[in-house]
Amino acid sequence: MRSILLGPSLFLLVCIIAYPVYYAIVLSLTNTHLLMPNASEFIGLKNYIELFLNKDFYTALYRSIVWVISCVSFQLIAGLIGALIMDQNFKGRGLVRGISLVPWATPSVLVALMWAWLLDGNYGVINDLLQKLGLIRHYIPWLAQGSTALPSVILANIWQGTPFFAVMLLASLQSIPEELYEAAKIDSANSWQIFWYIKLPFLLPTILITSMLRIMWTANYMDLIYIMTGGGPGSSSMILPVYSYIKAYKKLEMGQGAAVAIIQVVLLLIVVLWYLRLLKKRGRDF
């Protein structure tokens, strides 16, 4: 009976996850090129060796690390601040909580188009606002110069991803027993002591879990960057998912594109396993 019930789920798991991963691994060991699909040959680890000898791969890897750490760190900080604010009693709190979810609910394509318009170097709203405030003299091509392209896309991702942290942390804050706050008031604890000794210990498990989820999602997130900058100018905003996509569907080198994807999966798996060990250790502490 158990096998019958688990059968459909296992079948879907194999079809949706196992087979695509297997096919990607096999593809990464060939020299498959879409211009000559019938001339595909097994070449072993040659694609991986070529990638490890390619400077562009390490550039994309470095940009990916900067992308993930910057996005997740700032989203966590902004989300924590937002959660602490929305946990207070004030008029219109329900409305603020609802509006705060709008960025998270907005499709990535729309977010990319909106921020590309806001940051446009010719008629962008942000340039106009900064110029009127006297902060800049000339319009800045945010998405068209190497020094500002990646930070601009990171800003867009922070705007979209912060509500996830805010909502999750707010739910954790609301699970704290009121008796702890009452005891803290009796002991004349100030706001900082209440946060450090009461709120933060309750928030830590949620912070660890949500951070792990955001690390995985952000590392695989390519649509925002691809629409806003295409990985450019040059390779200034090139991350591994965009690099893999360009290899596979722009240069038509499916074998190398698959190899980049497999390397990213392995790197993420290492990070996740380390994070799970950290969660297990924290679980014993809590």
pLDDT at position 38 = 79
Say how many C-beta atoms besides its own lie within 10 A of residue 74's C-beta. 18
Token look-up 């590392």 returns 219
Alpha carbon distance 176, 164 (integer Å): 19
Q: Which residues of the chain have pLDDT under 70?
A: 1-6, 282-286
Which residue reads 């318009």 in tokens? 117
Indicate whether 89 belongs to any domain.
yes
User: What number of H helices and E strands is found in the chain?
Assistant: 15, 0
For position 205, which CATH number holds? 1.10.3720.10
pLDDT at 285: 55
Task: Extract the tokens encoding 121.
Answer: 């170097």
> Between the CA of residue 136 and those of 46, 131, 139, 267, what are the distances in Å?
50, 5, 7, 41
In a domain, residue 105? The reply is: yes
Asked whether residue 114 is domain-assigned, the answer is yes
Per-residue model confidence (pLDDT) at position 282: 64
Does residue 40 fall inside a structural domain?
no
- Report the DSSP beta bridge partners of residue 42: 30
Is residue 7 situated within a structural domain? no
Q: Percent of the chain having pLDDT more than 90?
A: 64
Is position 33 within any domain? no
Structure tokens given for 144: 């068209």
Q: Supply the range of the domain harboring residue 218.
A: 61-239+269-285
Residue 28: inside a domain: no
Q: Assess contact for 236 and 150: CB atoms under 8 A.
A: yes
Which residue from 253, 243, 257 is spatially nearest to 36, judged by alpha carbons? 253
Answer for the pair 31, 251: CB distance below 8 angstroms, yes or no.
Answer: no
Give the separation between CA 33 and CA 46, rounded to whole angstroms.
14
Question: What pLDDT sits at residue 92?
Answer: 85
Looking at this protein, which amino acid is placed at residue 65? I
Q: How many domains does the chain have?
A: 1
The answer to whether residue 141 is domain-embedded is yes
- Residue 255 CA to residue 211 CA, distance in Å, equals 32
**Side chain identity at 135, as an amino acid letter?**
L
